[in-house]
Copies of this chain bind each other. A is one copy, B any other.
């Protein structure tokens, strides 16, 4: 998908008029962002009223105020721009997701994540498309083509897992967190790739060859995008490792990391690949190699600066969606048939429910069938949580809906207007209502004692295996004992089978990858263990008294902040 950045930012004919209104609207927006942050901070005890909901509600309220002050005329203070979203807002969010992901967890559960994210999204896409074809034709909401129905499938397959992730705790439920998180990113990428594949293909004549081409195109996009991200990440690691021998220059290092990451996204867009996947894998590789090649100051700076950028982008996004939802022009065309509008939204919500259930439970069974350890299996309650986590629809859906159903801001056509407004309704409803229910639901499904047990088992199983194999056993045992000590304070669960934990990963792809990584990749691209020894700052250590793996011979600095992933 290519985007009109030039039109947005470098338009040669930009009128530098004294546009009071636009400056005013920026001011309102930035002030609202500040308000969201402050209110979000004050509401932090209520973890189920998360920042997304706050921003969405503040956006809606502001939209109301603007609508009232302009007497219902202008609500065009801010209109959702797909380009703005895909060029400015999405890249930092996805990059940060890759940068902060617990790589060990992510790669250990890689197959399951891909199963859910790619195959699951395809199943959901097929069900929602078929359901829409079946149900909408009775409603008479205007002329929709086959491409539109398929687009609906792709639009409503794109989940927004941010809300659930804010409820799940990465340290308490690492397996679940990693599945929901990983699925969310892969799902975004899959939906966008699907969507653009639909737009590019001639879908009037569907036959076996078209379907095969479609699948081939999809796989091609998937792998080339990943490869491009990996190349960008490795290139940045290599350049910074080479430059590091000269002088330290924190600002240059940080600047280069930001620019290389953004470049990877834009190159992917240029080559019509999936920028989301590219920048996600670029983030993973940067945190695995590049991040370890920079100075300690740069490490702290990048970690927090990327998280901050992503945070601002997320709040901005929900605020934006909230304000845009009240854009009166979109609602004008559907206002004479409110019942039909409600029906469309309800049908779509129902399809989202069914489409998600249709892959979460079967694919969980597939995943459990593959796993041998009972601790690795996904329990039914966890399956329900995964199912629920993916019910929220967010900005990706809105952006795709705008792309499909508006052309040059035109929502006059009946069918298009219905689908735009329904998308907004589904997004608002699912984010706010489901978002509010999520916390109690997760609390009910996964009470603290269970999650505490799960966490210790899964953590001891998958975390920190980046040292040479000879110390792996001792580390694992050491940590296993530690987790057992912890477990004595919670109701006694069945003790984890340590032998299983020892044998399982050694057979996994992950294990061979680490061997390859240690032998070939790290000597070239740096990363943990190949940076000249710098004594770790005792402050940082004192912040993390429970850092378990001090015995590593390479002795690189421990991660600056333990609750934030991406350092291990």
Contact = CB atoms under 8 A, between A and B. Distances in A.
Contact of A12 (B10, B27, B79, B256): B79
A408 interface: yes
Number of copies: 2
Interface stretch (A185-193, A265-273, A544-552): A265-273
Interface string A14-29: 1111111111111100
Of A9, A79, A560, chain B has the most CB atoms within 10 Å of the CB of A9
Contact of A23 (B31, B81, B269, B403): B269
A380 to B, nearest CB: 35
B20 A2 contact: yes
A311 B2 contact: no
B301 A308 contact: yes
B6 A8 contact: no
A342 interface: no
Contact of A5 (B23, B34, B315): B23
Contacts of A5: 19, 22-23, 25-26
Interface string A249-273: 1111011101110110011011000
A308 B259 CA distance: 11
A9 B41 CA distance: 28
A305 B311 contact: no
A308 B300 CA distance: 13
A4 B27 contact: no
A537 B298 CA distance: 16
B30 A259 contact: yes
Given A82-B16, A256-B34, A25 B6 contact: yes
Contacts of A142: none
Interface string A297-314: 110110111011001100
Contacts of A38: 239, 243, 256
Nearest to A51: B252
A330 to B, nearest CB: 12
Contact of A409 (B9, B13, B262): B13
Contacts of A15: 4, 7, 408
28 contacts: A3-B22, A5-B25, A6-B22, A6-B26, A7-B15, A10-B25, A12-B76, A14-B81, A14-B83, A15-B408, A16-B403, A23-B266, A26-B266, A27-B266, A27-B270, A34-B263, A37-B256, A41-B247, A250-B561, A251-B304, A251-B307, A251-B308, A254-B305, A255-B308, A296-B539, A301-B304, A305-B305, A537-B538
Interface of A: 1-27, 30-31, 33-34, 37-38, 40-42, 44, 76, 78-79, 81-84, 239, 243, 246-247, 249-252, 254-256, 258-260, 262-263, 266-267, 269-270, 296-298, 300-301, 303-305, 307-308, 311-312, 315, 402-403, 408-409, 535, 537-540, 560-561
Which 8 A-B pairs give the minimum distances between C-beta atoms?
A6-B22, A537-B539, A301-B304, A12-B79, A305-B305, A254-B308, A2-B18, A4-B19
